[in-house]
Amino acid sequence: MRKFLQALSLLLFSTLFFLATYKLPDWLPADIYLRLDPLLGLNAIFASREIIYRALWSLTLIGATVLVGRFFCGYICPMGVAIDFLDLLFFPKKGRRELKQDALLRKVKYVLLIVFLSAGITGLSLAFLMDPLALLTRFYTFILYPLTVTVINLFLDLVRPLFNLLGWVTFSHLHYVQPVYYMSAITLLIFGGIIALNRLAPRFWCRYLCPLGAFLSLFSPLGLFKRKVTDDCNECMKCRKTCSMKAVKENPREISVSECIQCRTCAEVCPREAISFPSSLSLGGEYSPRDLSRRGFLYSLTGGFAVGFLAIRTPFTSLQSKYQLIRPPGAIPEEEFLRTCIRCGECMKSCLTNTLQPCLWESGLSGLWTPKLDLRLAPCEQNCNVCGKVCPTQAIRSLPLEEKSHAKVGTAVLRKEMCLVWAQDKPCLICDEICPYNAIVFRPVDGFRRPVVIASKCNGCGFCEQRCPVKGESAIVVVPNGEIRLKEGSYIKEAKKLQLDFRPDPGDDKFLLEESGFRIEEKKEPVRTIPEEKPSPVKPKGFL
Amino acid sequence: MGKNKCGISRRQFLKTTAAGVAFALVSRPLLSEAKEEHDLVVTSGEPAAATKKALEAIGGISRFVKKGNRVVLKPNMSFSNPPDQGSTTHPLVIATIAQACIEAGAREVLVLDHTLRRAELCLERTGIRDACKQIKGVHVLALQERKFFREIKVPQGKVLERVEVMKEVLESEVLINVPVAKSHSATGVSLGIKGLMGLIWDRESFHSQYNMSQALSDLATVIRPQLTILDATRALVSGGPGGPGNVIKPNLIIAGTDPVAVDSYGVTVAPWYGQKFNGRQVEHLLVAHQRGLGKIDADQLKILKERV
């Protein structure tokens, strides 16, 4: 029963994860697992000092834990399921000795919880480092998703001849675009490490490290279902040996309530059927204090503040607005963005074009794993707004398409010294051709039609930067200058106020013709002769 | 056989048969000549109706599509814009032709393009996939992977020696090019011949490496659509190829077997960038004409005009 629910939960998590992509229906909360996570929610609320509405979903999980106990870890947590499953696969249960440092290690998760929350109070979002749902979503995004696509494509290639033979046209042309991500190796190492720790003890992560588990354990002793052992117990210790959380104490009649994840394995294995989990209203009485001493608590609190101080009082913070970082459209102002983003990677998974990539050190520790646009790799698609839809803390605002298309992320700048037209008089026009906003126009300069960016029309989508045929760095790059970052309110209004117009005026090409005095019959002497190009600076390309 | 029952004598039978055969012998070439003597068919009307009319006027799609054939339709669906922006072929034009091919006995109809913008968006937003969904045997695909292309030689190539073309195009019996009429910032206009670039793998080299007009003519020597149906129901007269730009509505469908003639006539149906042009003023069409790929002077073409 438990295994079934676990499998179901992992399936649901995976399904929602894979559904988080372009044309995600508005009603489907693909980020629901992350919304339910009170650690991520609290961390973001602390750090941003704002109420985040999506994070309020986590109240349901807190409520359920108060009511039932720490069932989340045993039944729902997809990380727990992954650990249990891989444990079964890699480490057959026998041969793991009891850890001598058990009591000490148990405190670690509380220390981490306090560190993360107190760092949050200083304004540093850090819980993402070890929150199980953020960790797993990142693992899914950076490893499992690209791997799945690779495997599916390999399979499709393998059976393609068969499809051809059967005449299944659609299948025989099926191919999925391969997503790629920076920092995938680090992500794999961290996840691999968590699994490897199971060598020492089953659910090592859940027992000793998981700060979400620590948080939920604060409420679990209030729960309705508590373990009860009848006098039939003969202290065979079978329950203690099989308890994956090692919650059963040396006297097997007793249990550490905060550690119990309600898996009820003990009741199943008890040869005398002495164990049951009846519902009992026992508020107060059994609420045992944490193992953490007051001193330990203060140390952790100080530690959290110290980390917060170290991460925030750096030049990185002062330079925040000066980095060459293009944030996703709808990202709230940088300082709030860094505080609110929980680095789950969901936006990068859902990104239609794969332009959203994780940051490493571009903006210091406080910017680790935050999403940026890598516009040389891929552009931001004007008809897609999925990154905001799936953001569980709304660090990227969920915007209707019309609003999103006004959320300018930066401005394209032409680097004339590298541009084929400006520097070498070559007839290149790829940036103009691809620009969906008509923000690039050609003006006759020095006897040659040369591209110019109209900044008030550019919304930073980066099609030009991606397609620029110059080798290496693009000759046209999007810089954050001119980006619109709003915490609330309408981007359309803001864009109007700034006199930006992303609904391009199609008359501009005509304007070019008229202004430059284009005539079919008349021949104008070129100011400068360029060998390959026909010498008329003002004629539309392709016409003689 | 059965002459007694039918009540006609042998003589009568022979006479009638002879007359019938004679009529058939005389009239068949006449009938088909009636259709083939024209260089172009131009029909005016709403997309679906005008297309249907054009197919009738040209002698029926069965002139090109035989029973059991596999047909490739090449629309322009390179951009993820809705049809009213004029940068892509109208979905009803494609659906009408695809339907006619199926009715003529085509085994299957593949609607193919190598899109410039993200494939799934192009298929969705151009409306072409939806329009063809109901027609059995029609598949709308954007082929974005090199494995779906095969390299062929270009024997008459001046700048292009080899080119990688969609396998499906090479392996199908019929290719019908269904471009949209639009302006193009590199080639002036983008009609049928420019549209052939949507069937090859490496487009970038046409822009960066070769003389585009020569390369396009080279391409037109190896990819020869049996029929070109130019969708000029809308014309994106500026801001092409991707738009947005000025869209006007000539409401025309231009069909013909000569790709240069279709394009050259297409040049004349709309003012490009606010100016009237003819085929000879479009560099890549002039080059194609000079290399013997078709007629270029629209005023000398024999045109069958029809209105819906």
Domain boundaries, chain B: 1-37, 39-307
List, for residues A383-430, the tens digit of each pLDDT value. 899 999 999 999 999 999 999 999 999 999 999 999 988 998 887 888
Distances (CA, A) of B58 to B74, B99, B193, B228: 19, 16, 20, 11
List, for residues B293-303, the tens digit of each pLDDT value. 999 999 999 99
Q: Does B21 score more than 60 pLDDT?
A: no
Q: Which residue of A has its CA nearest to B244?
A: A506
Distance (Å) from the alpha carbon of B58 to chain A's nearest alpha carbon: 30
Q: How many C-beta neighbours within 10 Å does residue B4 have?
A: 9
CA-based radius of gyration for chain B: 21
Residues of chain A with pLDDT under 70: 93-95, 281-291, 503-539
Q: Which of A169, A435, A540 sits opposite B273 (nearest CB)?
A: A540
B278: which 2 tokens? Answer: 């003819």
Q: Which of B242, B277, B282 sits opposite A434 (nearest CB)?
A: B242
Chain A contact present for B139, CB below 8 A: yes
Domain boundaries, chain A: 411-479+506-544
Q: Which residues of B94-118 are buried (b: 16+ CB within 10 A; e: fewer)?
A: bbbbbbbbbebebbbbbbbbbbbbb
List, for residues B159-208, the tens digit of each pLDDT value. 999 999 999 999 999 999 999 999 988 888 999 999 999 999 998 788 77
Please tell me the predicted confidence (pLDDT) of residue B124. 92
Please tell me the predicted confidence (pLDDT) of residue B239. 83
Which residues of A make CB contacts under 8 Å with B? Answer: 22-23, 157, 167, 169-170, 173, 175, 177, 352-353, 381, 383-384, 427-430, 432-436, 438, 442, 469, 503-504, 506-510, 513-514, 518, 520, 532, 534, 540-544
For chain A, the distance separating the N- and C-terminal CA atoms, rounded to the nearest angstrom, is: 77
Show residues of chain A in contact with B245, CB under 8 Å: 438, 506, 509
List, for residues B215-257, the tens digit of each pLDDT value. 999 999 999 999 999 999 999 998 878 878 889 999 999 999 9
Show residues of chain A in contact with B147, CB under 8 Å: 157, 175
Nearest partner of A313 among A76, A122, A105, judged by Cα: A122
List, for residues B117-144, the tens digit of each pLDDT value. 899 999 999 999 999 999 999 999 999 9
Show residues of chain B in contact with A23, CB under 8 Å: 124
Rounded mean pLDDT of B278-292?
93
- CA A38 to mean position of chain CA atoms: 17
Nearest partner of B225 among B268, B166, B267, judged by Cα: B166
Q: Which of B189, B238, B241 sits opposite A506 (nearest CB)?
A: B238
Q: How many C-beta neighbours within 10 Å does residue A40 have?
A: 29
Q: Return the sign of the alpha-carbon dihedral for residues B157, B161, B166, B171.
A: positive
Q: Mind giving me the DSSP string for A426-483? A: ----HHHHH-TT--EEEEEETTEEEEEE-TTT-----HHHHH--SSSS-SEEEESTT-
Please tell me the predicted confidence (pLDDT) of residue A504. 52
**Contact across the interface for B283 and A510, Cβ inside 8 Å:** no
Query: In this predicted complex, what is the ipTM?
Result: 0.78
Q: Which residue of B has its CA nearest to A157?
A: B147
Please tell me the predicted confidence (pLDDT) of residue A285. 42
Cis before residue A179, ω within 30 degrees of 0? Answer: no
CA-based radius of gyration for chain A: 29
**Contact across the interface for B238 and A169, Cβ inside 8 Å:** no
Q: Which of B186, B243, B283 sits opposite A429 (nearest CB)?
A: B186
Please tell me the predicted confidence (pLDDT) of residue B9. 64
Please tell me the predicted confidence (pLDDT) of residue A361. 85
Given the candidates 3.40.50.620, 3.30.1330.10, 3.30.70.20, 3.40.50.300, the CATH classification of the domain at A411-479+506-544 is 3.30.70.20
Show residues of chain A in contact with B166, CB under 8 Å: none
Q: Which of B118, B141, B238 sits opposite A509 (nearest CB)?
A: B238
Q: CA angle, A539 as apex, A535 and A540 as ends, to 5°?
A: 125
Global pTM reads: 0.84
**Contact across the interface for B120 and A22, Cβ inside 8 Å:** yes
3-state secondary structure labels for all residues of B234-245: EEECCCCCCCCC
Show residues of chain B in contact with A433, CB under 8 Å: 184-186, 241-242
Distance (Å) from the alpha carbon of A328 to chain B's nearest alpha carbon: 18
Q: Which residue of A has its CA nearest to B82?
A: A383
Q: Does B61 score more than 90 pLDDT?
A: yes
Which residues are CB-neighbours of A99 under 8 A, at least 6 positions away? A105, A200, A201
Please tell me the predicted confidence (pLDDT) of residue B4. 46
**Contact across the interface for A509 and B273, Cβ inside 8 Å:** yes
- CA A537 to mean position of chain CA atoms: 48
Decide yes or no: CATH 1.10.760.10 for domain B39-307.
no
* H or E element in which residue A371 lies: strand A371-373
**Contact across the interface for A429 and B125, Cβ inside 8 Å:** no
Show residues of chain A in contact with B120, CB under 8 Å: 22
